[in-house]
Structures are given as structure tokens and as C-alpha cells.
Amino acid sequence: MNIIFLTLSRISNIEERTIYADLMRKFRDEGHQVYIVSPSERRLGLKTSLSNEKGVHILNVKTLNVQKTNVIEKGIGTLLLERQYRSAIQKYLKDVKFDLIIYSTPPITFTNVVKFLKKQNPVAISYLLLKDIFPQNAVDLGIFSKRSVFYPYLRNQEKALYKVSDYIGCMSPANVTYLRSHNGYYPEWRIEEAPNSIELRNQTLTSGEKESIREKYGLPLDKPVFIYGGNLGKPQGIDYLIQCLDDHKSRNDCFFVVVGNGTEYGKLEAWMETLRQAKGLEDGRSLSVKVMKGLPKEEYDQLVQACDVGLIFLDYRFTIPNYPSRLLTYMENKMPVICATDVNTDVGKIAEQNGYGYWCESINPLSFAVLVNRFLSDPGRIKTMGERGYAYLQKNYLVEHTYRTIMRHCLKNENIYL
């Protein structure tokens, strides 16, 4: 089959380790022709180009900055994506007949591109990988209200994207339930689970390598290290994260490291600076907390391997069920998790039900402390629960599972040549 994948994520190297690159490699390795359309943002200074990266065609489209930029440029850039993507596809891929159209949220503005591709390829199946439920997530965080002038337009854009999709793959059971209950116009049987997934790569550090990495980043060698890695923005509830870290800043039986980037990183940085000044220190090494800017993927993965327990934080106000993909990195490295989230998200509930993590609502920092103490009171739990998480990953969150979920629809379509 010929497959086209539309994404807002920058993909320039098909061998990189992300949930999308992993899935597209799986399609390639199964013998399909894969075409990826992704942005080449203004800050990179690159023109639109088509390349072949180890058997995968990557069309990088010149766009405005649509991530990690100011609200105005992000908004305009997102609105222009449809026209820019369609123009690039017409120019570079006009002779390719596609059998499967895959796309992900964010953004919700791919509707006309998908319509265009469906018109050019009438028998093609359109499949939405739902990673973000917008605009409701913005409403939850108080960015704007349902009474604002933006909401009706954005909600209609969301509905239009769903309607043009033959199938919608959701990240978890709670996502499926939410989408079905809030979108009665869309056939329930076309909404299914297609969870975040990765290509498993066996990678085990020796004790010497683990010590070397901890020394490199100034982490203790003789204490359990709890790590949060990923985006540091409004969805993560940074105020609550800071409260939790502040309560543990002077512990001598464990250590916390936070590594990432995002719009709220400055809050963490300012909090750390206040602590250093209060203690009369320059580097904060006597603290049991370290905050770091985001690392390249390979270095971040090595850091995670040298830690013991993974952390997930989500703002308590969410009514939509998020399912952060950072969970997979923890599970792959046999690390149990603590999930401090809203009550609607099922990432922590699934972790508890399957014995690889604990959950608390992200309101009272004392609830988080209770979970930390559970691990510290019985260090053997870290290994046991980490092994359970790894086993659950193997059974549920590998690219083979997502691939089979999508492909079974193609196998039913007699008009698609496999």
C-alpha cells in the first residue's frame, strides 16, 4: 500500500525514537510505501523539500513556527498549515495514489487536506490518531471559555475533522468513552483504541554505566531517583509539581530530577533560584531536587535508564482523558510510575490495576508524598512493579498492536491493493 501520514511533529530522520517514527518504520518494514508530511518551521530557515530516508519519503513543508512560539504566530501558523500542506502535496506527490491516510491531533485543522486526499484517492481509508482533544482541553485550563468567540469555530473544526475520518484511534479506554459520549453524530463503532506505542529496543545499563550517568548529571549514587521528563507547560499543572518538589527538597533518602522544556519552565527555574539564594548556594547541590533543560532524545533515554521511578503530572482541572506518551519510556526501562493527575484521565488507574504504578489526584501534595513513601518503605517494589510495567508494555503498547489495529480496516477494503 501507499500510506501518507500528516503530522505537526517535525520528522527529518525516520530512525529517531518517537511514537510516530516508530509506527511509520513498522509500516515500512511490513513492505508498504510510506510518505510523511511534516513541518519545517520558519526558525530552521529551510525550504520545502522531499527526501527519501531509508525507504521512507519525507516531505518537510516550510511553515511558520507552530510550536514553542508566541500565541499569535502559532495561531496564524496553524491556520495556514492546511493550505501549505495541500500545496506541497500537489507539487511533490501529485502522481502518488494513496490507499491509507493517517493523521494525528494536534492540530484539528487537517480537514481540508484530508478531504483533498480523499477526493484524489476515493477508495483510501482515512484514520485519525487522536492524541489531543481540542478545544475542550483549552477550556479546561481556562485559556478561553465556551462563551468566547473562538470556541464555536474551533469546535466546528474539531467536528469536521472527525466527520472526514473513517476511523478514530484513541489512546485509552477513557478516551474512547469520552469521544463517544460527546460526539453523538459520529458512529460509535468507528471509534476504537489505538494507543501510543513504541518499537521495543532492549537497552540495559551496567551498574558502572548507571553510576557514570548519575555522576554526569550530579545525581546521588546511593538513593532512589524519581524523574519527570517531558513538556513543562500548563497541561502539566506546574504549580502542583513545584509544591510537591518543595515538600521533598530537603529529604536525604531520595532525589528528584525534572528535565524538559515548555512555557512554564521559567516557573521551575525561578523556584530553584529562590531555593539556592535562601541556602546561600550557587549550584544547589545540597538540595534533593534538580531541574534541567530538555536533553536530546538519546541523552534523555540514557538518563531515564539511570533513574528508578517515573513521574507523570497533569493539571487537576482536565475533564478530557489525556494519556502522556512519556509513560512508555518509563515502562520500557522497567520503571514503575507515580501518576498525579485529574480524575478523568485513566493513565494512573490502568497503572494501579496492572500493578506497575500508583495514582493520586493532583490537588494535595500530601497525596503525592504518600506514594513516594510507599516506594521508599519497600525498595523491592521498585523492581517488582517495574517488571510488571515492562510486561504490560509488551502486551499492549508496541507498534505491532497499533499497526494491526489500523491494518484490519484495510484488509476489509477489497478496493485496496495490499
Domains, the chain, ranges and CATH? 2-199+398-412 (3.40.50.2000), 207-396 (3.40.50.2000)
Residues 376, 126: Cα–Cα separation, whole Å: 48
Between helices 150-163 and 111-120, what is the axis angle to 10°? Answer: 30
Q: What is the pLDDT along the chain (418 residues), one digit of tens a residue?
A: 999 999 988 888 899 999 999 999 999 999 999 999 999 877 777 888 899 989 999 999 988 777 766 777 777 877 788 899 999 999 999 999 999 999 999 888 899 999 999 999 999 999 999 999 999 999 999 988 999 998 999 999 999 999 999 999 999 999 999 999 999 999 999 999 999 999 998 778 888 999 999 999 999 999 999 999 999 999 999 999 999 999 999 899 999 999 999 889 999 999 998 888 876 555 545 789 999 999 988 899 999 999 999 999 999 999 999 999 999 999 999 999 999 999 999 999 999 999 999 999 999 999 999 999 999 999 899 999 999 999 999 999 999 999 999 999 987 765 554 5
pTM of the model: 0.92
Residue at grid coordinates 502522556: 324
Count of other CB atoms within 10 angstroms of residue 109: 21
Decide if 144 contacts 129 (C-beta within 8 A). no
> What's at 186, amino acid-wise?
Y
Residues 39, 19: Cα–Cα separation, whole Å: 17
C-alpha cell, 277: 539564594
Compute the CA torsion angle 263, 267, 272, 277 (nearest 10 deg). Answer: 130
Parallel, antiparallel or unpaired: strands 225-231 and 100-105? unpaired
Kindly list the distances between the CA atom of residue 245 and the CA atoms of 166, 241, 303, 380, 389, in Å, as whole numbers in the listed order: 45, 6, 19, 24, 25
Decide if 158 contacts 164 (C-beta within 8 A). no
Residue 416 is classified by DSSP as S
* Sign of the alpha-carbon torsion through 143, 146, 150, 151: positive
Provide CB contacts within 8 A for 151, sequence distance 6+: 135, 139, 144, 145
User: Residue 366: how many CA atoms within 13 Å on its side-chain side?
Assistant: 0
Residues 411, 403: Cα–Cα separation, whole Å: 12
CA 358 to chain centre: 20
Compute the CA torsion angle 46, 48, 51, 53 (nearest 10 deg). Answer: 60
Query: Strand, helix or coil at 99?
Result: coil
What's residue 281's pLDDT?
56
Q: What's the farthest any 2 CA atoms get from each other in the chain?
A: 72
What's residue 71's pLDDT?
72
